[in-house]
């Protein structure tokens, strides 16, 4: 699957700089008076210009087209955060993109958090999702692991909230049950299920597959009112 090269965030920053320099306010066009010399006065009671109206075929109103919804799924982790984009029109879903944000073990905690924030910000600018779905908080036996995950989640939530994106959370067991039918599905089963559902040529990376499953779970939940 695709990954993030070194120039991904740089291209995003250059594009934002160009947009800022081009956003010069222009003066509103002055309103021009509409000439009325061609108007003819109407004579009260005169009906000589009216033509009989012939009834035509009755046209049935067409239902409005269903809007496309783009969902970003996020599987948050300090060392490898998975991202995935799915488009949906009603119950029809289509794969757009998925890739991980890997952080090498040599990077410190602050450096990893900065990398997650910058890469996610560039990803949001590239794909412009309408909604965000992420894995909810689950029980961790190790307090240190829970604290580190909380740092990464905070960065992800703040980056998405800064853009005003609606965010939704789903427990890991619900995500597994929604896409495989079992709340204890393995990582490999999740990967192969996502590859089969979206007909991917290659097996997705495990964190990217989890992000795809989270986005898919949210789209399923949107179809059921009140859930």
The active-site residue out of 87, 121, 135, 206 is 135
Q: Is 10 a catalytic residue?
A: no
Residue 100 tokens, joined: 């991980």
Residue 73 tokens, joined: 């799924």
Q: Is 135 a catalytic residue?
A: yes
C-alpha angle with apex 205: 200 to 206, nearest 5 degrees?
A: 115
The active-site residue out of 118, 121, 207, 210 is 207
- Burial class (CB within 10 angstroms; exposed 0-12, middle 13-18, buried 19+) of 177: middle
Residue 137 tokens, joined: 């908080």
Residue 93 tokens, joined: 């879903």
C-alpha angle with apex 137: 149 to 156, nearest 5 degrees?
A: 55
CA-nearest of 99, 81, 93 to 222 is 93
Q: Is 75 a catalytic residue?
A: yes
Residues 6 or more apart whose Cβ sits within 8 Å of residue 171:
135, 136, 138
Residues 6 or more apart whose Cβ sits within 8 Å of residue 131:
69, 70, 71, 72, 165, 166, 167, 168, 218
Alpha-carbon distance of 37 to 84, in angstroms, equals 61
Residues 6 or more apart whose Cβ sits within 8 Å of residue 208:
1, 75, 82, 83, 84, 98, 99, 100
User: Which residues participate in catalysis according to the annotation?
Assistant: 75, 135, 207
């Amino acid at each position: 699957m695709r990954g993030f090269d070194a120039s991904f965030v740089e291209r995003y920053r250059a594009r934002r700089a160009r947009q800022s320099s081009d956003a010069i306010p222009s003066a509103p066009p002055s309103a021009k008076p509409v000439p009325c010399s061609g108007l003819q006065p109407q004579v009260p009671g005169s009906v000589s210009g009216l033509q009989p109206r012939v009834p035509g075929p009755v046209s049935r109103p067409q239902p409005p087209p269903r809007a496309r919804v783009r969902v970003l799924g996020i599987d948050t982790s300090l060392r490898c955060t998975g991202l995935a984009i799915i488009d949906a029109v009603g119950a029809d879903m289509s794969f757009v993109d998925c890739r991980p944000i890997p952080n090498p073990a040599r990077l410190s905690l602050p450096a990893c958090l900065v990398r997650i924030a910058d890469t996610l910000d560039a990803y949001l600018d590239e794909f412009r999702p309408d909604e965000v779905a992420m894995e909810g908080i689950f029980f961790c036996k190790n307090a240190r692991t829970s604290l580190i995950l909380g740092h990464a989640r905070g960065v992800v939530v703040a980056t998405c909230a800064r853009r005003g994106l609606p965010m939704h959370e789903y427990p890991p067991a619900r995500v597994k049950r929604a896409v495989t039918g079992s709340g204890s599905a393995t990582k490999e089963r999740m990967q192969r299920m996502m590859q089969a559902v979206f007909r991917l040529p290659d097996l997705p990376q495990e964190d990217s597959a989890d992000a795809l499953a989270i986005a898919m779970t949210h789209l399923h939940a949107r179809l059921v009112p009140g859930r």
